[in-house]
A = this chain, B = another copy of it.
């Protein structure tokens, strides 16, 4: 059994975040020492690490909760996981696309920006009325 500090080290999840996950019911409450300190089993630490890895992959907590409940079942229905992962991939691709368009927009806006010029053409363009929108969204 490990204290929260060790669990944090081993899982890579910040101590405050571990307590937050517990408060929110994302991970189960661990046992306690006589003095009230949390004590984590290796399995509970594995669960924390799992949550962190999913967060690193960009999954929102709500999806991770679904994953966790799926790992509880004997049948870890792979189909459901696949669908969630693919939706997430679509979102990642959409974000990449938006950011790429953003980069282009910013590059063309700032390209006229030259040190020493008084009235900045970038700010001017953004302030002007008739600027085509090309909203990234």
Chief secondary structure at chain A's binding surface: helix
Encoded as 1 (CB less than 8 Å from any B CB) or 0, chain A from 105 to 137 comes to 111011001111111111110110101010111
CB distance from A26 to the nearest CB of B (A): 15
Instruction: Report the interface size for chain A: residues with CB under 8 A from the other chain.
Output: 58
Question: Which A residues form the contact surface with B (CB < 8 A)?
Answer: 12, 46-47, 49-50, 53-54, 56-58, 67, 70-71, 74-79, 81-82, 85-86, 88-89, 92-93, 95-96, 99-100, 102-103, 105-107, 109-110, 113-124, 126-127, 129, 131, 133, 135-137
5 A–B pairs (Cβ distance < 8 Å), ordered by A? A46-B129, A79-B116, A82-B110, A82-B122, A85-B106
